[in-house]
């Protein structure tokens, strides 16, 4: 696989020591910007995501791994082996960026800590992602996405008040922390142009999820109020919920403000609702939330989803059908934008991946196939360490010999 030559980060070398979701998502974003991502993997098993039970066409389809690891190159190194450590350290000396998401302290024990590597390579930008950060009372606690959703407060506002809290049905804490890591790394690369120096970046999943709460945190920070669970409704707008249509499809819609109330009443052909002074303002409608939602629920059951979609769109009322994942990627707008890309993989054939969720006037970086375990070891050693192809082949053979012995 050749490295991407265009993109804002073209020419940037990233040494990727991450696995599972948060770190791989961060480096995938950097790959989408044109960076050369070299993923270091344990040579016999690789990233744990390669071993999630397959749901694809066959046992060779690493579905979960593919989702977060396109456009990267894989090098097999055992960082617990001193000889392999030495090679990884040489790669780090040539890298612009190193990113890891081990538990705090592990990278240092593996010989890949910030302090010694930055002394060798002062321009190195080093990013650590962990559940709770590199310091503090929770530093050593293990963290998974649902744990972070719980402790960050996200779970407390998800679901319905009469039921226990529920997690969001996607690994948002993992993905968001990866996004913040990529964001901070890109900023550090820009800053290095002025200073000539690298820097250390500490990304906490807990911090990232609290940051994502955005305006919902406003009333908590300023008024000391903890928001409750409102299901698909909101505490400030009515009607704003998910409704079932005549053809048993769910549609989510929202009357955003008082200006939208009359157009909504026209869309549902209920001028008497607008004429009712008890419903005139947002505050009024919130006070009559139960009865208004009952009226809207009954009305939505009278027409099909497509009919409601046309009516709401005509009157510029925000709405969306509740899609499952398959429907979401087959949505006409998603297809028009070309978000889902087809890539040829050497063992799985044609696979589909979600591409970068942005477009640039400078052109997009075409996604490449996710790497097979250790696929690019010789290639990367040759390029990054500036050694001959024969020396790189010899080094690769020595690595394979050590790994096979260690695995017996």
Query: 137 Cβ partners below 8 Å, 6+ apart?
Result: none
Cα–Cα distance, 232 to 248 (Å, whole number): 17
Query: Is 174 among the residues known to form the active site?
Result: yes
Q: Which long-range contacts (CB under 8 A, 24 or more apart) does 162-167 make?
A: 163/229, 165/229
Q: Which of 220, 256, 224, 213 lies closest to 237, judged by CA?
A: 256
Please give the Cα distance from 251 to 262 (Å, whole number): 20
Using an 8 Å Cβ cutoff, are 300 and 233 in contact?
no
**How far is it, in rounded angstroms, from Cα 57 to Cα 61?**
7
- Kindly state the tokens that stand for 255: 């009357």
Rounded Cα–Cα distance for residues 154 and 168 (Å): 8
Which listed residue (36, 47, 174, 241) is catalytic? 174
Residue bearing tokens 């004429």: 275
Cα(first)–Cα(last) distance of the chain, in Å? 31
CA distance 237 to 257: 7
The set of catalytic residues is: 174
């Amino acid at each position: 696989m050749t490295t991407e030559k265009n993109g804002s980060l073209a020419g940037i070398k990233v040494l990727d020591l991450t696995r599972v979701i948060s770190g791989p998502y961060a480096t995938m974003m950097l790959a989408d910007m044109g960076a050369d991502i070299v993923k270091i993997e344990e040579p016999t098993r690789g990233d744990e995501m390669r071993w999630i039970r397959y749901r694809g066409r066959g046992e060779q389809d690493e579905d979960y791994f593919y989702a977060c690891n396109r456009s990267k190159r894989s090098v097999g190194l055992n960082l617990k082996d001193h000889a392999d450590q030495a090679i990884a350290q040489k790669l780090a000396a040539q890298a612009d960026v190193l990113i890891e998401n081990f538990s705090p302290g592990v990278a240092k024990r593996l010989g890949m800590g910030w302090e010694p590597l930055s002394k060798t390579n002062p321009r190195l930008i080093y990013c650590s992602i962990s559940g709770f950060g590199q310091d503090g009372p929770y530093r050593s606690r293990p963290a998974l996405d649902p744990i972070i959703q719980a402790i960050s407060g996200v779970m407390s506002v998800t679901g319905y008040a009469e039921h226990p809290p529920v997690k969001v049905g996607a690994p948002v804490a993992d993905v968001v922390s990866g996004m913040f890591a990529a964001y901070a790394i890109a900023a550090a690369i820009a800053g290095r142009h002025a200073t000539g120096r690298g820097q250390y970046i500490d990304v906490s999943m807990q911090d990232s999820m609290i940051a994502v709460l955005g305006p919902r945190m406003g009333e908590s920070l300023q008024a000391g109020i903890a928001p409750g669970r409102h299901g698909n409704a909101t505490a400030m707008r009515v009607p704003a919920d998910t409704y079932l249509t005549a053809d048993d499809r769910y549609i989510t819609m929202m009357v955003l403000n008082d200006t939208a109330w009359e157009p909504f009443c026209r869309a549902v052909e209920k001028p008497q609702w607008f004429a009712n002074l008890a419903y005139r303002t947002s505050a009024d409608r919130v006070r009559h939330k139960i009865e208004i939602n009952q009226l809207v629920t009954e009305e939505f059951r009278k027409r099909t989803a497509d009919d409601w979609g046309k009516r709401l769109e005509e009157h510029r009322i925000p709405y969306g059908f509740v899609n499952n994942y398959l429907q979401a990627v087959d949505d006409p707008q998603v297809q028009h934008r070309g978000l889902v890309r087809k890539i040829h993989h050497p063992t799985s054939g044609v696979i589909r991946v979600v591409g970068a969720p942005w477009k640039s006037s400078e052109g997009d970086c075409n996604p490449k196939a996710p790497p097979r375990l250790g696929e690019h070891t010789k290639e990367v050693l040759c390029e990054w360490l500036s050694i001959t192809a024969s020396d790189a082949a010899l080094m690769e053979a020595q690595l394979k010999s050590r790994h096979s012995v260690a695995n017996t």
